[in-house]
Amino acid sequence: MDDLSKSDMKFFSDQQHCFADILLPHEVPARIQVVVLNFLKILSSPDPAISDLPLINRKSSNSRVSEGILTDVSWIFLSHSFCSRSLMKANATKAFIRVWKVMEMCFEILIQDKRVTQRELFYKLLCDSPHYFSSQLQVNRTIQDVVALLRCSRYSLGIMASRKGLVAGRILLQEPNQEAVDCSACGSSGYAISGDLNLLESLSMKTDARYIVVVEKHAIFQRLAEDNVFNQIPSILLTAKGYPDIATRFLLHRMSRAFPDLPILALVDWNPAGLAILSTYKFGSIGMGLEAYRYACNVKWLGLRGDDLQLIPQQSLAPLKPRDLQIARSLISSTILRDNYRQELAVMMQSGQGAEIEALYFNGYDYLVKYLAKKIVQANYI
Amino acid sequence: MDISSVQKLCIHLISSAVQRCRLSEGLCRLSVVLKSSPPIIRVSISDTGTGSCLEEFQDLKCNREGIGTEKWDGLLSIKTTSISDNKIYHYHLNLRGSVSARRLTRLPSIPKNDAKFSGTEVCLSIFETIDALLKDIKHYFQKMLILKIPSVAAELVIERGDASGLRCENVFLPNECSPLNFSSSNVERLKSGLEEYVLKHRNSLNNKCDSCFCSREKLKISSGVASSMESHRSPGLIVEAVIAISELSESLCFRSSGNKTEVLHFKDFSPGSVSIASLNALTSIDWRSYGLTLVSAVDQVDHALIEWESLPPYLHIDMVIHCYHKQYPGKYKYQPDRHLIKKGVKLALDDLKEKHTGLLLSAHAVKICSYAPDLASSIAGIILSSNDLKFRSKCSTLLELSQSQAIGKQTVEDRIKEKIISVIETNDRKPEKIKEAAPFLFVDDRPQDLDPADLYLEEHAGGDNVFSFPD
């Protein structure tokens, strides 16, 4: 995918493609300097003005789908529609200044050759400008604004992704100049995926697994790891403990390229949120649309699916919450879902009910492993 | 018109004399002589303006509820002549007469013997104390000073009839030292008049107060003129508004009126009353776009009183509105509508904003300016953290700072802040200005809030769990 963006021969759809560059540490300060110079030029011009900041629109209206022609992978990307942040708009002034403040802080971090996590950045900003930053969420959104302005990846800004993901199973991971880690021996906690994308890039990987299983929930991951499912079915287990973060997706993507013969199977709850998580691994996201497209993988939906509902008791079905329905509506409206996924989603919405993977325990604590094995052997995934 | 008191009658007669003087070309003299032989005052108002057509006197009505017969017998003695007449006409007019034909009595004319002059003298006798009359007349003249009608030299003479025959004179001349001449427009004169009025602390002093107004900057004054077209249905009307803003650092002299502004009204070159149209105009202006909030505008007979919500303590606003007909004389049946008055006042306000940066900033602009230091600080932070000397030097050039290395963050920050505030203030003067260009092209312009369709694909916190906040 990266090669495609560099090649001279571009399909029409690729010309619409707007993406964030992965830059070296010295390149981002240069871009920030360009922004400052342009701002000052306009401020000091004969007809002075305070420029707006044009940001790539991260909304579904600006999202496009790239259908995999040569590969099985489709992904979502953003096109060239902009929105702007302006100092002069009464309620948007603070948001405008927040972008500058984060830019300033990233600039300082990069000049000093450091890296910070989003959490650390939040605390630094809180101390420095308490009037502007009140929550982590706000900081994260502002970081995305800076990504959209400078069109460089978040990691290039010196901000590390969070350490959320875990790996377990039949894979050996080795950091440069370190001992190899056998993820099957890590116990139920697994190997913690670093937030440092450079580090993840430098990992060497060896496996004899036949499948990669992406698990939505931490509890399920732990159970499967404890039960050593990867010894029964030669597999690698991966989880982001919920909504996938960039680091986990990055590693999954690396694995998919390093081991292209391994099918990637997802085990998620039977509800719109579960499908959303699966879709993010599979297609990327709009929120981080400028970079997320790189890590789209051909993930298949193992379970829970509609025909698994017969395996669980009626009483374990729970009504969908309003937020679930919202998610479902936006999924339905997205053009990227294939028909088979749409059908599953339609059944969810019609019944108004969902089920969690844990419902399978009704049949016994070891049932999960059996379920998994059976489905894999039957190649019962879409 | 109805006359309700002797003071009003005298003022009206003086005002008519002023109008006649205004009409004639060249300098005119207006004399008001009050000869006091208690309990009677003999009032004589004479002018060298154009001759009078008697209609203006015959239109006066004196009803029983107004001036009582014990105050005035209703008789006016009028002598008038125009420049082209060869005699001076003399009349007695009895305004209490019941039959209109019998009101006017013609007396023998006085020959002019080929002398070329014009003028009018009106005399009447009233039963009143001189102080009561004098107060109103003086007040009238002081107000008239604001108009600065150049062609009238007025004098007020009081003769007290006692043994020594003392006379005292007060003379009200247009200020000799002003740079105005006959060719200045009405509005220029009004401006100058209001300026002097304010400089003398609203006519409470005889001269300008130098301690409060030590520098030219302390008083900022501007004007706006709105006119309506003449048509067969209405005469052309002109509204002139002048606004003066004084910024006094301390209330060195007596206390100023704080949050209130007296809006003086003039109508056809005479102190006028406040019309409903005027009050409506004042209340309907969008004061917020000038950084002001109007609490109330009340008619106080000879001026409108505006109360503001929280003016800065050192700031004081004075205003004068003058409505007049383009053509004189004419039938004054039409009042200017509030749109014309509003337009005149707005033009004055915009003129003030245009000429003085940072004055009358709208509330919106003030709010945005409060963020300027933080923005400047961020940008300065980036510039000073940079190791790239070429970049820093380019920034210094753009900011018109010297190229030396020793420039501190505060200097850079202050310069950026200055420029930002200046742009905000400039933008504030033209509310309809089109959006300025961004450094890069931007094509679309949509609000930043997400609609539900994006929720599924929105990564909270860029990759962290939708269900919980990141660690």
Domain boundaries, given as residue ranges, for chain B: 2-173, 188-355, 363-428
**What CATH number should be reported for the domain whose range is B188-355?**
3.30.230
Q: Is pLDDT of A216 > 90?
A: yes
pLDDT at B79 over 70: yes
pLDDT, averaged across chain B = 76
Task: Return d(Cα B336, Cα B228) in angstroms, integer.
Answer: 9
Give a three-class secondary structure readout of B377-396: HHHHHHHHHCCCHHHHHHHH
Tokens of A85: 């942040």
Q: Give me the helix-helix angle, B186-199 and B130-147, nearest 10°.
A: 120
Contact call for A243 and B394, based on CB within 8 A: no
What is the C-alpha separation between B77 and B123, in angstroms, rounded?
5
Distance from the B226 Cα atom to the nearest Cα atom in chain A, whole angstroms: 30
User: In Å, how far is A41's CA from the nearest CA of chain B?
Assistant: 6
A243 touches chain B (CB under 8 A): yes
CB B455 within 8 A of CB A327: yes
Residue-wise pLDDT for A360-374, tens only, equals 988 888 899 999 999
What's the distance, Cα to Cα, between the start and end of chain B in Å?
A: 85
Please list the active-site residues of A. Answer: 123
**Mutation for testing the A interface, residue in B288, B364, B382, B425 having most A CBs under 10 Å:** B382
Decide if B418 touches A, using CB distance below 8 A. Answer: no
Instruction: State residue B449's pLDDT score.
Output: 36
* Residues B243-266: tens digit of each pLDDT: 988 877 665 565 556 788 888 888
SS3 content of chain B, % helix, strand, coil (to 5): 30, 25, 45
CATH of domain B2-173: 3.30.565.10
pLDDT tops 60 at residue B413: yes
* pLDDT for position A221: 94
Interface of A with B in 167-226 (CB under 8 A): none
d(CA B198, CA A5): 72
Cross-chain residue pair B368–A87, CB shorter than 8 Å? yes
Stretch among A145-154, A299-308, B349-358 having the lowest mean pLDDT: B349-358
Task: Among B446, B454, B459, select the one facing A83 at the smallest CB separation.
Answer: B446
Residues in chain B: 471
- Measured between alpha carbons, how far is A107 from B380 in angstroms, rounded to an integer? 12
**Quick one: average pLDDT of B20-30?**
82
Mean pLDDT of A106-111: 93
Chain B residue with CA closest to A137: the answer is B461
**Are A93 and B367 in contact (CB < 8 Å)?**
yes
Measure B432 CA to nearest chain A CA, in Å: 13
- B288–chain A nearest CA distance, Å: 14
A110 interfacial to chain B (CB closer than 8 Å)? no
Residue partners of A68: CB distance under 8 A and separation at least 6: A74, A75
Q: What is the pLDDT of residue B54?
A: 77
Rounded CA separation B138/B170 (Å)? 9
Residue B437: predicted pLDDT: 46
C-alpha–C-alpha distance, residues A341 and A279, integer Å: 10
Q: Is B7 helix (H, G, I), strand (E, B) or coil?
A: helix
Residue to mutate among A18, A27, A28, A43, with most B CBs inside 10 A, is A43
* Digit-coded pLDDT (tens) for A265-286: 999 999 999 999 999 999 888 8
Task: Determine contact: B461 vs chain A, CB below 8 A.
Answer: yes
ipTM given for this complex? 0.81
Res. B273 pLDDT band, cuts 50 70 90: confident
State how far the alpha carbon of B343 is from the alpha carbons of A27, A307, B284, B324, in Å: 56, 75, 11, 15
Contact B470 A119 (CB under 8 A): yes
CA B346, B348, B349, B350 dihedral sign is positive
Q: Check A285 against B458: CB less than 8 A apart.
A: yes
Looking at residue B458, its pLDDT comes to: 37
pLDDT for residue B139? 82
Strand duo A353-354 + A318-319: pairing: antiparallel
**d(Cα B347, Cα B354) in Å, to the nearest integer?**
10
- Which residue of chain B comes nearest to A105, CA vs CA? B382
Q: What is the mean pLDDT of residues B212-238?
A: 77
Does position A168 have pLDDT exceeding 90, yes or no?
yes
Of A85, A90, A136, Cβ closest to residue B367: A90
Chain B residues within 8 A of A244 when measuring between CB atoms? 463
Is residue B389 less than 8 Å (CB to CB) from chain A?
A: no
Q: Is A61 on the interface with B (CB under 8 A)?
A: yes
Does B452 contact A279 at a Cβ distance shorter than 8 Å? no
Model pTM? Answer: 0.74
